[in-house]
Structure 1
Amino acid sequence: MSGRVRKLVGTIVLLVFLVVYIAIAGAIGSGRISEANSFFRFAYFIVAGLLWVPPAALLIRWMVRPD
């Protein structure tokens, strides 16, 4: 796979992943987490806000890999 195609595929996969991740994290955050106390809400949003970074970093590393 050439570098240009890999970057195109990676970009599309990353955008789809982020949209799905945001929808799931938002649904969880507005559902059961909204009834929890402040500490658990804070912890959830910290974890949910950072949990997407490792998969995205792996995908970006794959996208910029030399041919």
Structure 2
Amino acid sequence: MPVRLRKFIGTILILFIVILYSILATSIASAFLGASPWWVHLLYFLLSGLLWILPAMLIIKWMAGPIKK
């Protein structure tokens, strides 16, 4: 697969993941954290804000392609 096509597909996938993940994380927060203390909100949004990076790293690694020697 050409590098340009791989980067295009990866960019679209990352955008899709970020949009879907933000909707999901916000829905979970509004459904379950309404009456929680401030520190629970802080921990939830800290962890959920960092969690989307894991699938994004895999996509970026795939976009870079195999290492040619």
**Residue identity (%):** 37
Could you tell me which residue of structure 1 aligns to residue 11 of structure 2?
11
TM-score normalised over the length of structure 2:
0.86
Could you tell me which residue of structure 1 aligns to residue 35 of structure 2?
35
Q: What is the 5 A alignment of 1:39-54?
A: 39-54=39-54
CA RMSD of aligned residues (A): 1.4
After the TM superposition, list the runs of 4 or more consecutive aligned residues in structure 1 that deviate by more than 4 angstroms.
none
Q: After superposition, give the CA deviation of every residue in 1:7-41 in whole Å (9 maximum; x if it has no partner).
A: 11111111111100000011112221122112211
TM-score normalised over the length of structure 1:
0.88
**Unmatched tracts of structure 1, length 5 or more:** none
Number of positions where the alignment pairs a residue of Structure 1 with one of Structure 2? 67
Secondary structure class of the residue paired with 2:65: coil
